[in-house]
Structure 1
Amino acid sequence: MDAFIRFTNQTQGRDRLLRATQYTCMLLRYLLEPKAGKEKVVLKLKNLESSVSTGRKWFRLGNVVHAVQATQQSVHAADLVLRLCLTLANMNRVICFICDTVLWVRSVGLASGINKEKWRVWAARHYYYSLLLSLARDLYEISLQMEQAKREKSASQEPLGYSVADEETEWLQSFLLLLFRSLKNHPPLLLDTVKNVCDILNPLDQLGIHKFNPGIIGLGGLVSSLAGIVIVACPQMKLKIH
């Protein structure tokens, strides 16, 4: 109970719970819409999803400051590739949150002359860029871990555990084995990769790059939210900058 209280006392923790609720409603609504007699339930889920989405906007108002701080920290990363990916990703997050704040100002009626659709597209575009750069960081980290696992295997002369004649199949099995071991030994990297892959579905759909049905968006958002909950609840699962 104490752990739950500490989690919900954090702004990020409350936002993750609301986000999980929002995308659960979206997923359930998609699953129930084709069924007869579920119109009232679908309407309630739609209203709840909209209310939760509106509530989450309040929690995101201070995210610009956090993104600026993250940018300042990433500038000092020792690895050049990580420094470049993280700094650019955080800069895009700053712009995204600025757009988000402008949309919030428009939604509460403080400025009616704001072009809502234009700012929404800008927010989605910079969110997409941020996720692409974050995924590039994940892939780079995975390649480093695979290289390390390969060196350790070579030093110990550990057998790969398969025997195939085809060289392409042999290479693929070796690659998948190294990938599995690298992610298994580094849960924060696995969690961050899964989260970013699931998150990128939404901007892909919003920008029209690839259309997904609401069920896929809802499932991706739910998985990403659960990963985010784990990261907030267990700080040791957060991928560190080095």
Structure 2
Amino acid sequence: MDCAKYVVLAAANSRVVDVYVRYINMLVGRDKACRLGQYVARLLIYLVNRRVSQLGKTSSRLEWIMTLTRIQQTLSTTRKVMRSGKFLAFFQQAVRTLTSVGDDEVVRTLGAAHKLGMCVFMVADTIGLLGTTLALVRLRNPARVARLGQRAWMYALIAQLLSTLYQLRGLSIRSADLQRVRRHVGKAGDVMAERECAMEEQAIRTQRKGLTRQLTTSALDLAIPIKGLGILPLNEGLVGMAGSITSLMGVQDVLGKASG
């Protein structure tokens, strides 16, 4: 009994369980996990459909498609319920971004555009949930509402991409200026200035890493509304893979916060 008690206590107080509990207590963590399952299911549906087209239909393959479709639809609906009303948060963030003092004007404008685009996307998402999924309100044209949301999401991602590229360009200019300063500091033999330059270089490296990750996420996510709006003939496999990658990156980010 003592041994079993010790094992139970050790398991309950382990770091893995602690991080897991912190993760599931975060709404964004549950959303990212559901998103990962949703897009992995979407990718698998594409792969199984390709298998069917190559080798023919069988009962097991059709059952797989039906099961994965249910998983995708259920997780999609779950995420819509969890984020319903979130447009108010994006609206608040957009206003605060526009009225913030001291930030670069271009970054501030593009940041506000991103938040406003996400706000419109979330409004359309919530209306679609109430009208199409839950049938609580009557929509004259649900497809138009869905397209409005997809278009707003696309514009938000484009604004985020432009902002990230602009900030990366600014970091490149800062890095070039820092290299010129370091050459002068090296000639002068100023130890304190050399340390400050090293700290600045580390800060630039950290910011560039974060911005590069954001650029990758935005570029991959952009494939989803582009596919939804029919702007480019992207296949479901590419969209499912893009969504799976960005979802996994999101899960990693939340896990980092939970374990920190």
Q: TM-score range by the shorter chain?
A: 0.7 to 0.9
Question: Aligned to 2:114, which of 89, 105, 113?
Answer: 89
Answer yes or no: is 1:71 the counterpart of 2:110. no
Matches within 5 A, 1:87-236: 87-106=112-131, 107-156=133-182, 186-235=208-257
Answer yes or no: is 1:12 the counterpart of 2:28. yes
Larger Rg: 2
C-alpha contact 1:183 1:190 (8 A) present in aligned 2: no
Structure 1 match to 2:85? 62
CA distance in 2, matches of 1:88, 1:184: 25
Cα deviations across residues 38-71 of structure 1 (Å, max 9, x unaligned)?
A: 2222221111111111111111103112212221
Cα distance change on mapping 1:207 and 1:24 into 2, 3 Å: same
More deviation, 68-77/1-10: 68-77
Cα deviations across residues 118-141 of structure 1 (Å, max 9, x unaligned)?
A: 100100111111111010111011
Structure 2 match to 1:45? 68
Cα deviations across residues 103-160 of structure 1 (Å, max 9, x unaligned)?
A: 0111211113331101001001111111110101110111011112222334445xxx
Cα deviations across residues 2-28 of structure 1 (Å, max 9, x unaligned)?
A: 122111111111010000000001111
Task: Name the count of aligned residue pairs.
Answer: 213
What is the CA distance between 1:187 and its match in structure 2? 2.5
Give the AA of the match of 1:116: P
Answer yes or no: is 1:34 the counterpart of 2:50. yes
C-alpha contact 1:183 1:189 (8 A) present in aligned 2: no
The answer for unaligned runs of 5 or more in structure 2 is: 1-16, 184-203
Partner of 1:113: helix, strand, or coil? coil
Give the AA of the match of 1:211: P
Give the AA of the match of 1:97: M
CA distance in 1, matches of 2:72, 2:121: 22
C-alpha contact 2:39 2:243 (8 A) present in aligned 1: yes
When the two chains are superposed, the root-mean-square deviation of aligned CA atoms in Å is: 2.1
C-alpha contact 1:198 1:221 (8 A) present in aligned 2: yes
Q: Percent identity over the alignment?
A: 23
Q: TM-score, normalised by structure 2?
A: 0.76
C-alpha contact 2:227 2:234 (8 A) present in aligned 1: yes
What is the CA distance between 1:225 and its match in structure 2? 0.8
